[in-house]
Structure 1
Amino acid sequence: MFGIGDFARLGLVSVRMLRHYDLIGLLRPAHVDPATGYRFYQAAQLARLNRIVAIKDLGFTLEQVGAILDEKVSAEELQGMVRLRRAQLEAQISADLARLRGVEARLRAIEREGQMRTDEVVLKKVAPLRVAVLSGRAASYESDDIGPVLTPLYRRLVERLEETGVAIVGPGCAYYVQADDGSVLAHAGLEVAVPTGDGYDVVDLPAIEQAAAIIHRGSMDHVGPTMQALAHWIEENGYRAVGLAREVSLHCPDDHDEWVTELQWEVSR
């Protein structure tokens, strides 16, 4: 048998917690020395301790934990409960991280309000472009909604082009169409020379006679300040934006902080 300190270390809990579990009858010691009052536990009791902690971490009260254990929850049922809770926690963490990225991006935009990069905007003509395309719908034009749609589309498009032996002859080009309900149809495009596709569309994007363009460096999660600088330039120079900006991937290594993307926004007077 193990003393309460050793058993606590084995079970990755505190001695105080074990004493509380004993007090409420959730996990009694296997033996209590009548002379000293020292508690001793058997290794077999680690199974019950593991279940107590796992069920408590699912959000149940200790009273509910006891009731569940008294109903003899099987190991398979408990594993299923824990896996479900893990999936819920992972989804929550992912959502929280997305919100954090949004807060950081908004903070950067506020910090740069007095130093907009409008001097980096150029007015240019964009040549027509033939792209292989896969498309998906995003809830909005925000980066947190666009990224999870575009990333798997590009991954599948590259795989499909490799399977069909079609060469990518130029940079990627993402473009968007706004729907009346606020959602956005996002198109992940890669420049190709073939006229038709197998498992993807081939689209001939028309030339843009006048596009306001600016280079964005870094992850597209942080594109907000660059896009806002572009919007300021368009307005300050008497132009009107047409549609939504294209995003041309000039350099996109594994490290997203090293990405180089040109934003091209069609404009008119």
Structure 2
Amino acid sequence: MNELFSIGDISKIFHIPIKTLRYYDEIGLLVPAFVDTNTKYRFYSVDQFVLIDIIRNSKKMGMPLSEVKKAIEEDLKFNDILEMIDRQSICLDEKINELNMLKASMNTIRESLGEISSLVFNEVFLVKEDIQKYISFPYTSRTIEEQEINFRKAALSSKIIEREVYAVFGVGTDAKIYFDKGEMVNPDIRYYIKNRLSPAEYEKIPAGMYACIIFDDNSFAKEKYYGLLAEYLTKNRIQAQGDFIEQWIMPRVEGKRESTLIKLEIKIED
């Protein structure tokens, strides 16, 4: 019998964990050349080295193990292998595009955090805003619990979360109801478009001067900051135009509780 190599030897030679080699055996991808009936130890032959190389290289190309197994079992010809490589190349291009989109999302949120970190928190200030774009999802919320559920409905149905690390969502808040009744009613959930690629249809928030407050707090504490913003407008006799705009910049957990960095603003007369 030709020289055989133990599963430990193969693990060391090819830098493949023993657990992985056992799994390959279980699914029929790489069956040992010999198994000792007494000890159940697995042994591999030199002839299988090329097979192991093929498995490793196929994994590098991102091929699923099921496809690798099928390719090995079908004794592919050179033309078949070329077609397989072409298909996998297309898959890799799609993956690269997906990763580039995720990286762009990370850069966008980094820029937003960098800009906001230089501003004063928990105090109202005036800021001139450019036109802001968003997609509106018509889910009305009257409580924080409803808002949390509606946010997930909007995000998951739009599949936006799949291509962004931290997509900037938020809500509009009916200013008339707030000033008349003190209630925070959100007519929609909003996805704020922060990248250069815009969908065919979106809403616009007009450019102009805004009264703004930035805070990092639990969602159930938002009423406090609405109050500070409303108090500032009243004290300075500033007339608001349109509804409140909430942007959820970055969620995190503090002391096992949710805490979100939020930008709250409302347009004022220029």
Task: Specify the TM-score bucket, using the shorter chain as the normaliser.
Answer: 0.3 to 0.5
TM-score when normalising by structure 1: 0.44
TM-score when normalising by structure 2: 0.44
